[in-house]
Structure 1
Amino acid sequence: MAQSSSDVQPAGKGQSLPPELMRVAGVVLLGLLVMQLDGTMVSVALNTLSHELSASVATLQWVVTAYLLALMVGMPLAGWAADRFGPRTMWIVSLAVFLVGSVLCGLSDSIWMLVVARVVQGLGGGMMVPVGQAMLMRLAGMEHRAKLVALMAIPGMIGPTLGPVLGGVIVDDFDWRWMFFINIPIGVVAFLVAGRNLPNVKAETAAKLDVLGVLLLVPGLVAVVYGFSRASTVGFGSGQVIGLLAVGGALLAGFGVHASRPDVDALVSMRMFRYRGFAASCTLLLLVGLTMGAGIVQPLFLQQVHGESPMGTGLLLVAFGVGSVITSVLLGRVFNKLGPRLVGTVGIVLAIAGAAFFTQFDAGTSRGLILVAMLVSGVGLAMVVLTMSTALYIGLPPQQIGRATGASRIFQQLGLSAGTAVISVVLQIQLSDRAREAPEGAVGPGGLADAYSATFWWGVGFLVLAVVPTLFLPKSVLVAAPVPNKAAEAAQPQGA
C-alpha cells in the first residue's frame, strides 16, 4: 500500500505549523491541560476528602481507582467512535461528558457519589485524549507530526508539576470542591473554541461496533489494571490479585486471537503490528510506562531519605519538567532530520543514566546532583516519548490512525499501572527487610537509602529492556507502508 500524499513530505525543512493546524492544536491542548490538572490535583486532597466525607482509606482509594478504570473503558472505544462518528463530534462529546463529571464531583455530598462522578469523568477523559491526538495526526502531514507531538507533551509536563501545587492551594485556602469546579471555565472555553476551530473531519467508516471485541478487551483491561492497583496494596501473592490478573490475561489473550482474524474489524487490529514503527512504539510505550510508574518513589525518597519538605520536593522535581519541555520544543524542529532511531537511542541512554544516578543517592547527596539527575532524566524521557509518539504512525494508512492512537494509550496505561504496582511492592519488601535487620525495627537513614537504591535499580532495568525495541525503530520518518495482500484486503471490512 502506498503512503498517503499527506505523509510524503520533505523531512527536516523546519516548516512552521500552518495557522489552521495551530488553532486545532490549541483546542486539543486545552482539553489535555484540563485532564492533566484534574488527575494530579486530586492526589493531594485525599486526606481532606477522608475527613470531610467520612471515608476510610480502603473506600477512599476508589476515588482514584474508579477514575483509572473508567479511563481504560473509554480508551479502546475512542478509535472506533472517532472513525464511526467523526473525531470532531466525538471530541466535543467527550469533553462534555468530562465536564458533566466535574460538576457532579464538585456537588458530591458522599464518597460514593464522588466515586460515581469520577467514573463519568474517566469515561469522557479516556476518549477525549486519544480522539484529539488522532485528529491532529490525521490533519498533519508527517513533516508536522513531530512538532505537534512536542506541543502535546507540554500539558503532560506542566500538569504533574502545577497540579499538586494548585491542588494544595485550593485545599488549604478554599474548598476541595473547587478542584473540580476549576475545570468548568477552562472546559467551557475549550468547548466554545472547538465549535469554531475544529474541522468537521469526515468519518472513516460506517462499520458496526465489534461487540465481541468489546466484551473481551474492556473487561480484560479493567481486570488487569485493577489487579495491578490491588497488588500495590496487598502484594502479588494475594489470591484476589492472582485471580484478577489471570482472568484479565485470559480475556486479553482471547481478544488477541479474535482481533487477528482477517474478517474482523477489531477495536485494535493485530494487523497494525505489521508496521515496524507501530510495533516498536507500542512496546516502548509499555516499557517506558513501567519506568514512569516507578517514578512514584522519587518524591518519597526526597522526603523520607533526603529530608526535603513537600515544597522542596516539588521544586527539585521541576527540573524534570523543565528538561522535558525544553527538549520537546527544540527537538520537534529537527526530529525529522535526525530520525526516530537516532533520537530514541540517545534518549534511552540518557534516561538510563538519569535513573542510574538515583541508585547512588543517599541523605548526604547534594541538591545540585539531584537536579542534574532530574534534568538528564527529563531530557532523555522527552526524547523517547517524542520518538515513540511520532514513530507510531510511520507507514500507517490514514484510516488506521484513530485506532492506533487508542491502542497506544492502552499500552502506556498498562505500563503505568504495572510499573506503579511492581515498584510499590518492591519498595515495601525492601523496607521490611531493612526493618528486620535494624535494632528494634527502626530503620536508619542508611537503611532507608539502601532500600530505595535497590528499588531504583528496577526502574533502570525497565529502561534497559526498552533498548531492544528502540533499535527496531525506523531510521527515517519516510518509510513506505508494507505492500498488503490485495485479495485479503478485498475480503476485509471497510476501515479494518
Structure 2
Amino acid sequence: MTSSTPSTDQGSGLDARTLKVAAVVVLGAIMSILDTTVVAVAQNTFQDVFNTSAANAAWTATGYTLALAAVIPLSSWATARFGTKNVYLTSLVLFVLGSILCAFAWNIGSLVAFRMLQGAGGGMLMPVGMMILTRAAGPERVGSIMAVLGIPMLLGPIAGPILGGVLIEFVSWHWIFLINVPIGILAIAYSAWILDGEEEKSKPPFDFVGLLLLSPGLAVFLYGVSSSNSEGTFMSAKVLIPMVIGAALIVSFVVHALRGKTPLLDLRLFRNRTLSITVVTFTFFLIAFFGASLLFPQYFIGVRGESTLMAGLLVAPQGLGAMLTMPIAGRMTDKIGPGKFVLTGIVLIAIGLGVFMFLGADTSYWLLGGALFVQGLGMGMSMMPMMSAALATLKAESVADGSTLVNVVQQTAASIGTAVISVILATNLKGLAAPTPSASASAFGDTFVVAVVLIVICLVPAFFLPRKKIAVATPVDENGEPVKAAPVMMH
C-alpha cells in the first residue's frame, strides 16, 4: 500500500482513507485508556485473590503508570529511527502480551511485573497514534481527527468502571485483562493492513544522557506523587524525597535539552506561542478533570451506597454530553480556531462542577446527572480543540516531538490531579467530627471547590488561544512564522 497525501481541501470532511487510519488508532487507545480505569475498580478483588494489602494491590495501578512515564519520552526518537508503523505494531504486541500474562498472574508480584510490561507497550500507543493521525489528516484537519481520538480519551474514565464492574461481578477478574486480547489481535491485524510502511528516513543519534535524566525523572516524580494517596499527605518523606529527586532530574533534562543539538525531546518547541499557551491551559484542565473524575464514583459509592456498576452508570451523562459536542467542536476548530470553543467549554465545565460544590447526602440524581451532562458538553468543546491547537501549528518534522510533549504533560497532569484531589478529600474526611452521610457529602463538596477553582484558572491562558482559523495551509516555523513546505505525508 503506498503513502498518500492528505486532502488539502479545507472545507471537506475526513476522507475514507483517513477514517480507516483513525480506526486503527482508536482501537489502540481504547485498550490503553480502558485498562487504566478498569484496574482501579479491581483493587479489592486483588487484595482478596492474592491475600495482599491495599498498598501492594495499588502497585498494579502505580507500576503501570510508572512504565507509561518511562517509555513515553522515547516515542519521538523511536518513530524517527524505526518508523511509526513499526513502533505502533510493537507497542500493540507488548500490550497484548502483557494482558495475557496479567490474566495468568499467580501472585501480586507477578501481576505488578506484567502490568509494567503492559505499560511499556501502552505508553507509546497514544503519542504514536497522535502522530499517525496528524500526518494522515494533514494540519488543516487536525481538529476533526483529534475529535475522533477524543472519544476513547473521554469515555475511558466513564466506561472503565462500568466494564470492570460487569466483568468482575458476572465473569472473573481475569477478564479485565483477557478482554484486551481479541481487541488487540484485531488492532494488530488491522494496523498491519492499513498503515503504510516506510523506509527509514533518519537515524538520529540516541540521547542517552537525556534518557537517563527524563525517563527516570518522570517515573520517580510520579512515584512520589502517587505515594501521597496511601500516605494521605504530601509532607511525608516517602512522597517528598522521590518528588524532589524526580523534579531535579527533570530540571537537569531541561537544561541538557536546551543545550543539546539532538535531545531526546525538543523543548525548543515551546518557542511556539500557541503550543506554550495550550500546554499551560491543558495542564490545569487535566489536573481538574482527572481529579474530579476520581470524586464522582467515590461519592456515589461511599456516600450514597451504590455499587461500582451503578456508580459508573450514574457518571455516564458526562460521556453523552461529550459525544454530542466533540465532533462539532473538532470540525469547527479547523475553520474558526480553538479559542472560542475552549473558553465556552471551560465555562460549561465550571457550571457543571459547580453543582457538586453543594453536595448533600440526598442530592437529586436528576440534578447531578444534568450537571454531569453540562460538564460533558464542555469537555467535548474544550479538550480536543486544545490538543489540536498544540499540534496544528507545528512543522511536519516537529509533530513527533509535539505529540510526545502533549502525552508527557497529559500523564503527569493526570497523576498530579488524582493525587492532589485524593489528599484533599482524605484531609476533609479526617476532619469530620462525625462521619455521617451528610458530613461526608459536605467533605466531597468542599473538595469539588478545588476542582472548580482549577478549571476557572484555565480561563486565563485559554483567553490567549487563537480565535481565528489557525494558518496551517502553509506550515509555520517554531516561532509561528509561515514557511514554504512540502505537503504533509502520512507515515
Instruction: Confirm or deny a common fold (TM above 0.5).
Output: yes
Match of 2:46 in 1: 49
1:28-67 deviation digits (Å, cap 9, x = unpaired): 1111112223222222222222222222212111111100
1:245-298 deviation digits (Å, cap 9, x = unpaired): 11111111111111112x421222121001122112222221112112212112
Alignment of 1:116-265 (within 5 A): 116-201=113-198, 203-234=200-231, 235-261=233-259, 263-265=260-262
Secondary structure of the equivalent of 1:108?
coil
Alignment of 1:60-139 (within 5 A): 60-139=57-136
Higher mean C-alpha displacement, 111-120 vs 202-211: 202-211
Aligned-CA RMSD value = 2.1
Aligned length: 472
1:58-90 deviation digits (Å, cap 9, x = unpaired): 211111110010000111111111111110110
Higher mean C-alpha displacement, 241-250 vs 326-335: 326-335
Match among 345, 349, 353 for residue 351 of structure 1:
349
Is 1:329 aligned with 2:327?
A: yes
Match of 2:36 in 1: 39
The Cα shift of 1:195 comes to 1.2
Aligned residues of 1:7 and 1:142 also touching (Cα < 8 A): no
The Cα shift of 1:204 comes to 4.9
Match of 1:477 in 2: 470
Is 1:272 aligned with 2:269?
A: yes
Is 1:468 aligned with 2:460?
A: yes
d(CA) in 2 for partners of 1:304, 1:59:
22
The Cα shift of 1:449 comes to 2.5
Aligned residues of 2:339 and 2:466 also touching (Cα < 8 A): yes
Secondary structure of the equivalent of 1:209?
coil
Counterpart residue identity of residue 45, structure 1: A
Match of 2:22 in 1: 25
d(CA) in 1 for partners of 2:138, 2:435:
56
The Cα shift of 1:215 comes to 0.8
The Cα shift of 1:167 comes to 2.1
Counterpart residue identity of residue 103, structure 1: I
1:385-436 deviation digits (Å, cap 9, x = unpaired): 11111001132111110111111111111111111111111111111222xx
Match among 410, 430, 433 for residue 432 of structure 1:
430
d(CA) in 2 for partners of 1:89, 1:462:
39
Higher mean C-alpha displacement, 395-404 vs 30-39: 30-39
d(CA) in 2 for partners of 1:326, 1:485:
32
The Cα shift of 1:309 comes to 4.1
d(CA) in 1 for partners of 2:325, 2:288:
19
Is 1:446 aligned with 2:446?
A: no
Mark the CA change 1:298 to 1:173 in structure 2 (over 3 Å): closer, same or farther.
Answer: closer
Higher mean C-alpha displacement, 194-203 vs 123-132: 194-203
Higher mean C-alpha displacement, 446-455 vs 219-228: 446-455
Secondary structure of the equivalent of 2:391?
coil
Match among 418, 434, 451 for residue 459 of structure 1:
451
Match of 2:487 in 1: none
Mark the CA change 1:156 to 1:193 in structure 2 (over 3 Å): closer, same or farther.
Answer: same
d(CA) in 2 for partners of 1:334, 1:114:
44
1:304-362 deviation digits (Å, cap 9, x = unpaired): 33454434322220000111112112222322223111111111111111111110221
Secondary structure of the equivalent of 2:51?
coil
Mark the CA change 1:469 to 1:203 in structure 2 (over 3 Å): closer, same or farther.
Answer: farther
Counterpart residue identity of residue 281, structure 1: T
d(CA) in 2 for partners of 1:192, 1:113:
28
d(CA) in 1 for partners of 2:477, 2:400:
19
Aligned residues of 1:95 and 1:128 also touching (Cα < 8 A): yes
d(CA) in 1 for partners of 2:479, 2:359:
52
Match of 1:491 in 2: none
Match of 1:287 in 2: 284
d(CA) in 1 for partners of 2:271, 2:70:
26
d(CA) in 2 for partners of 1:421, 1:121:
22
Alignment of 1:372-411 (within 5 A): 372-411=370-409
d(CA) in 1 for partners of 2:77, 2:33:
24
d(CA) in 1 for partners of 2:201, 2:280:
27
Match of 2:489 in 1: none
Counterpart residue identity of residue 439, structure 2: G
The Cα shift of 1:201 comes to 4.4
Match of 1:490 in 2: none
d(CA) in 1 for partners of 2:465, 2:479:
20
Counterpart residue identity of residue 477, structure 1: I
The Cα shift of 1:188 comes to 0.7
Aligned residues of 1:276 and 1:473 also touching (Cα < 8 A): no
The Cα shift of 1:366 comes to 1.5
Aligned residues of 1:7 and 1:143 also touching (Cα < 8 A): no
Match of 1:494 in 2: none
Higher mean C-alpha displacement, 236-245 vs 444-453: 444-453
Secondary structure of the equivalent of 1:219?
helix
Match among 391, 410, 413 for residue 411 of structure 2:
413
1:195-225 deviation digits (Å, cap 9, x = unpaired): 1110124545311111111111111101111
Counterpart residue identity of residue 345, structure 2: G
Counterpart residue identity of residue 454, structure 2: F
Higher mean C-alpha displacement, 469-478 vs 306-315: 306-315
Counterpart residue identity of residue 260, structure 1: L
d(CA) in 2 for partners of 1:338, 1:306:
43
Counterpart residue identity of residue 366, structure 1: S
Instruction: Tell me the TM-score normalised to structure 1 length.
Output: 0.91
d(CA) in 1 for partners of 2:120, 2:59:
15
Q: Which runs of 5+ in 2 are unaligned?
A: 482-491
The Cα shift of 1:93 comes to 0.7
1:446-468 deviation digits (Å, cap 9, x = unpaired): 32232112111110111122112
The Cα shift of 1:484 comes to 6.5
Aligned residues of 2:73 and 2:265 also touching (Cα < 8 A): yes
Mark the CA change 1:56 to 1:305 in structure 2 (over 3 Å): closer, same or farther.
Answer: closer
